[in-house]
Amino acid sequence: MQAGIVGCGVYIPRLRIKREEYQRVWGYSSRWVEEKSVADFDEDSITMGVEAASNALRNAKVDVSEIDAVYFASTSPPYAEKQNASTIAAALGCRSATATADITSSTKSGASALLSCLDFVGSGRGRAGLAVAADCPLSAPTGALEHQLGAAGAAMIVGAERVGGLVEGSYSIVSESLGERFRRDGQSSVTSVDLGPYYERALEGVVTSCVIGMMEKSHRSPKDYDWLVLQGLDDGKALELSKKLGFEEGKMARGMICAKIGDVGAASPLLGLSKVLESALPKEVGILCSYGAGGGADALSLAVEGEMKPANGYGYEDYLARKEYIDYTTYLKVRKTLGGS
Amino acid sequence: MSQRYALIGAKCKSCGAVNLPLGVNCLKCGKVLEYEPVKLSGRGKIYCFTTISRGGAPPEFATQQKLVGSYPVAVVELDEGPKMVAQMIDCKAEQLRIGLEVESTFRRIYEDDGMIRYGTKFRPARSS
């Protein structure tokens, strides 16, 4: 059975903080984040995942009773033990005969959840599944990664019928490197060790070989593709690598999300892909490559077979436009860095 | 819990009224409730509202009140009939009025013994 993407949905929280606020408070800021989204005090990766999944069902006009699996990806699940996907399935009103799993601990978890869902449907074990990714990673206020960390969710419905995006194949790379981005058990802050050039070489090698491997497996070259979504690395690095790989800048721009939202961890591969798929036209072909710092990368090659337009008011651009700016003190409060119990 | 999370109401087999939450007797006809579950749309109108300010919050909402200040709470009459009490989000207290159309959203409500209580809050409805 050939499984593919039936529809997608996104969620971006309303709160935003501008780069100027970081400049005012700290005197420095991340080079590539103009503003970023912030989860409100009562939002977390579960609530953002529920919103994104509800939007995917609404956009694709799929009834929740057709869903046989819910896979949830996040690097910031509210529970380290007690399955988080169950809360999402319950909030969506899924049937009790639903397969669920949490997939965590890497920024490429969103892509892993999508691949698992494709396997679930492709092997004939279920009719349709939801791959839900949402993330609001935390870091210490002085941490090197802190300014870039945003918050968002995205969800894909995977099925064998009414497929809008056929997944032609996948290609994965595993790699082992230390220190680029990590969070030990029991810690709440993502950290990194300052070894810039070392990571750049590791990241470049992994992402480049993953995209090249995917293209070779699909017997295609950059000119055959209409777009490339590179997630799990900053916009500047993604543009640089895509150029080296032979992709024109316009093909890369369609799936870029970081400048206005920030680094949304495990949500980034599905959010970048949703952004492209919402306006993709039949016969387009594209690649998603999702990088997980210190672990590897997963790529998927997709052929668009049908339009996947969002319901009016529920698209990526709608959420991007719906915003309220907060100052840095409010930011610390809603993230519970200040005054939270 | 899934009924509360997913807003599943109980439609009385005697009189057709939608009950939420589920009780022993139908809130409308008073008969012992035999029902069919119905998924509620999450859309409704503000029936009445208030603002909870410093000193007014119940203990489970005291941290929230300290962090974000006064917060609005409304009784919402859902399109299917039942009324529920919930916090209003994504709006300023001055925007609220009786009859304002709202839509439900899934949020953290409070924490209790280390557990996270999730549930429904409302925000002004999108025009679509």
Domains by residue range for chain A, with CATH: 1-341 (3.40.47.10)
Residue B41: predicted pLDDT: 95
d(CA A211, CA A214): 5
**Confidence (pLDDT) at A341:** 54
For residue A90, give the chain B residue with the closest CA.
B2
Contact between chains at A90 and B90 (C-beta distance less than 8 A): no
**Do residues B102 and B117 both lie within one domain?**
yes
Distance CA A106, CA A293 (A): 7
Note whether A65 contacts B: Cβ–Cβ < 8 A. Answer: no
B54 and B3 housed in the same domain: no
Q: Is A43 on the interface with B (CB under 8 A)?
A: yes
List Cα–Cα distances, B128 to A12, A222, A311, B125, in angstroms.
18, 39, 9, 8
Min distance A274 CA to chain B CA atoms (Å): 21
pLDDT over 80 at A189, yes or no: yes
Cβ separation of A90 and B127 shorter than 8 Å?
no
User: Which of A42-51, A196-205, A222-231, A237-246 is predicted least confidently?
Assistant: A196-205
Determine whether the interchain pair B5/A90 forms a contact, defined as Cβ–Cβ distance below 8 Å: yes
For residues B57 and B72, membership in a common domain is answered with yes
Percentage of the residues of chain B whose pLDDT score is greater than 90 = 82
Query: What is the predicted ipTM?
Result: 0.95
| Length of chain A, in residues | 341
B116 in contact with chain A, both atoms CB, cutoff 8 A: yes
Helix (H), strand (E) at residue B116? strand B115-124
The CATH number linked to B88 is: 2.40.50
pLDDT above 70 for A126: yes
> Which residue segment(s) compose the domain that B118 sits in?
41-128
Residue among A14, A43, A92 whose CB faces B6 most closely: A92
Are B25 and B71 within one domain?
no
B88 and B122 in a common domain: yes
| Pairs of residues, one from chain A and one from chain B, whose beta carbons lie less than 8 Å apart | 62
B27 shares its domain with B56: no
**Percent with pLDDT over 90 in chain A:** 91
- Flag if A333 and B63 touch (Cβ within 8 Å): no
Q: Which residues contact A197 (CB under 8 A, 6 or more apart)?
A: none
Q: Does residue B113 sit in the same domain as residue B70?
A: yes
Q: How many domains does chain B have?
A: 2
The pTM for the full model equals: 0.97
Same domain, B34 and B70: no
Q: Say what the pLDDT of residue A194 is.
A: 78
Cβ A170 vs Cβ A298: under 8 Å: yes
Between CA A280 and CA A165 the distance in angstroms is 9
Q: Which of B54, B61, B118 should we substitute to test contact with A (largest number of A Cβ atoms within 10 Å)?
A: B118
Kindly state whether residues B99 and B55 are assigned to the same domain.
yes
**Cα angle A182-A186-A187, degrees, rounded to a multiple of 5:** 50
Residue window 48-107, chain B: list those with CB within 8 Å of chain A: 63-64, 66-68, 89-90, 105-107
Q: Is residue A340 less than 8 Å (CB to CB) from chain B?
A: yes
Give the mean model confidence (pLDDT) for residues A70-85.
Answer: 98
Contact A199, A292 (CB under 8 A): no
Asked if B39 and A93 come within 8 Å (Cβ–Cβ), the reply is: yes
Query: Is the predicted pLDDT of residue A213 greater than 90, yes or no?
Result: yes
**Which residues are bridge partners to B105 per DSSP?**
B121
User: Is residue A1 over pLDDT 90?
Assistant: no
- Asked if residue B78 and residue B94 are part of one domain, the reply reads yes
Among A41, A87, A91, beta carbon nearest to B67 = A41
Interface of B with A in 9-38 (CB under 8 A): none
- In the block, tokens 């907060």 appear at A326
CA distances from B92 to A242, B71, B88 (A): 44, 9, 9
pLDDT tens sequence across A282-312: 999 999 999 999 899 999 999 999 999 999 9
CB A64 within 8 A of CB A57: yes
Averaged confidence pLDDT in chain A: 95
How confident is the model over A124-146, as a mean pLDDT? 96
Higher pLDDT, A180 or A25: A25
CA trace torsion A182, A183, A188, A193 (10° rounding): -50
Which chain B residue has its CA at the smallest distance from A81's CA? B115
- Asked whether the beta carbons of A267 and A131 are under 8 A apart, the reply is no
Q: Which residues of chain B have pLDDT under 50?
A: 128
The reply to whether B33 and B63 lie within a common domain is: no
Identify the residue among B8, B92, B108, B122 best suited for mutation to test binding to A, counting A beta carbons within 10 A and taking the highest.
B108
pLDDT of residue B14: 96
Neighboring chain B residues of A91 at a CB cutoff of 8 Å:
5-6, 106, 118
pLDDT reading at A340 higher than 90: no
Please tell me whether residues B27 and B75 are part of one structural domain: no
Sheet containing B35-39: give its strands across: B18-19, B8-12, B35-39
pLDDT at A229: 97
The pLDDT of A59-84, averaged and rounded, is 97
